[in-house]
Amino acid sequence: MDRSELRQFLRQQLEDDTAREFSQLDDSVNLREGLGIDSVDLVTLIVHTQSHLKIEVPSAELEKVTTMGDLLDVLQSRLAGAAGKAA
């Protein structure tokens, strides 16, 4: 899954979880302040994403995530690691 597809997945998941529309999800947008999602929304997003993508993201990595770009970087890193293990 490339970055664009991953961003679209996150957007759809956020919209499904919060019943709100998110039109602006560029890398610099702050997840909490820019999108107005709270910690419960973020945890729900991460749980659904991990389940869907069949990856696990350690809490220590998630603590550093503040922007959409940060989240995409972490998820892409985990996906690359999962693909490497599967090969």
Output the domain CATH number for residue 11.
1.10.1200.10
Q: Residue 87 falls within a domain, yes or no?
A: no
Q: Residue 40 falls within a domain, yes or no?
A: yes
Q: Please give the Cα distance from 10 to 25 (Å, whole number).
A: 9
Number of domains within the chain: 1
Q: Read off the amino acid at residue 66.
A: T
Q: CA angle, 29 as apex, 82 and 12 as ends, to 5°?
A: 60
Kindly report, residue by residue over 16-27, the tens digit of the pLDDT.
998 999 987 899
Domain that holds residue 40: 3-70
Q: Please give the Cα distance from 14 to 7 (Å, whole number).
A: 10
Kindly report, residue by residue over 25-82, the tens digit of the pLDDT.
899 999 999 999 888 888 899 999 999 999 999 999 988 899 999 999 999 999 998 7
Q: Residue 55 falls within a domain, yes or no?
A: yes
Q: Residue 75 falls within a domain, yes or no?
A: no
Q: Please give the Cα distance from 87 to 83 (Å, whole number).
A: 6
Q: pTM for the complete prediction?
A: 0.89
